Amino acid sequence: MAPGAAGRVRRFAAALALGAVMAAGQAPVGAWMIALPALSGLIWLVVRAAKTQPSPARAAFAVALAGGTGHFGVALSWIVEPFLIDVARHGWMAPFAVVFLSVGLALFWGLAGAVASRTKRPALGFAAALVGAEMLRGVVLTGFPWAQPGHIWIATPVDQLASILGANGLLLLTVVLAVLPVVAGLRGLGMATALGLAVAGAGQWRLASPTPPDRAVTLRLLQPNAAQSVKWDSDRAQQFMDLQLELTRRTPVADLTIWPETAVPYLMEGSPGVAIAIARASGGRPVAVGVQRVEGERFWNSLKVVEGAGAVTAVYDKHHLVPFGEYIPFGDLAEDWFGIRAFAAQAGGGYSAGAGPRVLDLGPALGKVIPIICYEAVFPAALQGAPERADWILQITNDAWFGVWTGPFQHAAQARLRAVEQGLPLVRVANTGVTAIIDARGRVRDALPFGVVGALDGALPGALPATLYARWGEWPQLLLFCGLCVLVVRPLRGRTA
């Protein structure tokens, strides 16, 4: 192997390893103290590659691509789980899913590396381009903002910055902290340390501030723990239904009982007795249930509120669907030609998208709630687009699709960030876990153990006033991002790393 080729291989391998180490910052490990230096190391490698001749853009692209592949390959390794539900039919797709997803998402990082190679200060250039690439990753092709570098701060005082700047603000902070030592050596390390401590201190102060009083209601969160491999088994359907009815009717009956996503194994439109049975179990008090809803030949992944004698008083249809999970792009052709159907959709070949975010009025005691279903919790826009401000957030989900190691915990962590952004309590009800009551600053108030059958009774935390992020949205962080871009175009005096 030629000396130049050997150097490229070593650089590629080092970037791959650093990306993998970065993944340790994601839930459930949350090791930000090693993820952040790993990002600094990756930035340094990209800078070295950007000075390689004769093809700096190609070299920087390859290094950044390797870093992204390592990061997403480890952080999103749970993506194999849906393919292992029916191993005989889908198991062969699992390794391809990991490779295609991790490399596909890493292309955003590779593009950032190529852009950096064409700037006067490639370290700052890569920092700005990486932030821009991650922002794009959250919206391109319906978006997939999972495992952002900024997520390493969830469940630390630093995450309170999201109440001002949202998830993209945490992303921007993370990249700035990582690039400062590369740009300015020990002086930059000192600046990064001071900035990080300042943000953490402000976050700790916010966490120590008085909390609003709880609402005078009791919620009951059901966790049936139905394994995905048997969840839709016709022989087990009534068993799971009976279990949830039993948990619902336990005394004292809650003011609102909540079942997880697709918890009802029957189409209620054709089985009116289902709603009556649910209402009887709750003594006529409201029950929010995850269902599959049908009208004609269209199906929705929905939440219905059942109360009284079995009346459905509110409906929300999931509007941000999972590509290939809940619908297949060009689905009719895919099914006709290749027999490919959406994994999560049990009714029909795939779901239809709902009209958009909704706020449901559950009455004076329970207040107004904005429901989100499963994957919608990873998108700030699912809440920012609501027609009015709610009193709390309700997420129902079926995380049995995500396995038991990392996926469910990463999903729950991102839901916590939505509570911080909005200053609203979030109630999370999952089939297998994480089922929890989260306060308006993103702290877990109470939770059920993961992977057990149970019901959690608890109070509904109070809401904070609308946060700056809830009022301003993405504009402040976009302005800060533009400021970083200006530094790339018109660098300050000093080093040119």
Which DSSP string corresponds to 111-139? HHHHHHTTSSSHHHHHHHHHHHHHHHHTT
Superfamily of domain 215-319+354-463: Carbon-nitrogen hydrolase (3.60.110.10)
DSSP 248-283: HHPSSPPSEEE--TT---S-GGG-HHHHHHHHHHTT
Q: Which tokens go with 138?
A: 């959250």
Q: What integer pLDDT is reported at residue 412 of this predicted model?
A: 98
**Bridge-based pairing state of the strands 215-223 and 256-258:** parallel
pLDDT score recorded for residue 333: 46
Q: pTM of the full predicted structure?
A: 0.94
> Which two three-digit tokens encode residue 151?
């997520």
pLDDT of 497 reads: 58
d(CA 444, CA 63): 38
Q: Which residues form the catalytic set?
A: 261, 318, 374
pLDDT of residue 383: 96
Give the model's pLDDT for residue 495.
47
Task: Give the domain ranges of the chain.
Answer: 3-209+474-489, 215-319+354-463
Write down the pLDDT at residue 88. 84
Residue that is written with structure tokens 């249930």 in the block: 289
Contact (CB, 8 A) for 322 and 375:
yes
Whole-number Å distance between alpha carbons of 250 and 246: 7
User: Rg for the chain (alpha carbons), in Å?
Assistant: 24
pLDDT for res 330: 52
Q: How high is the mean pLDDT in each 10-residue block of the chain (497 residues)?
A: 76 97 98 98 97 93 98 97 86 91 98 96 97 97 96 98 98 98 98 98 98 97 94 90 98 98 94 96 98 94 98 98 82 48 58 96 98 97 94 97 95 98 98 97 98 98 98 96 91 52
In this prediction, residue 5 carries a pLDDT of 81
Task: Return the SS3 of 441.
Answer: coil
pLDDT value of residue 7: 82
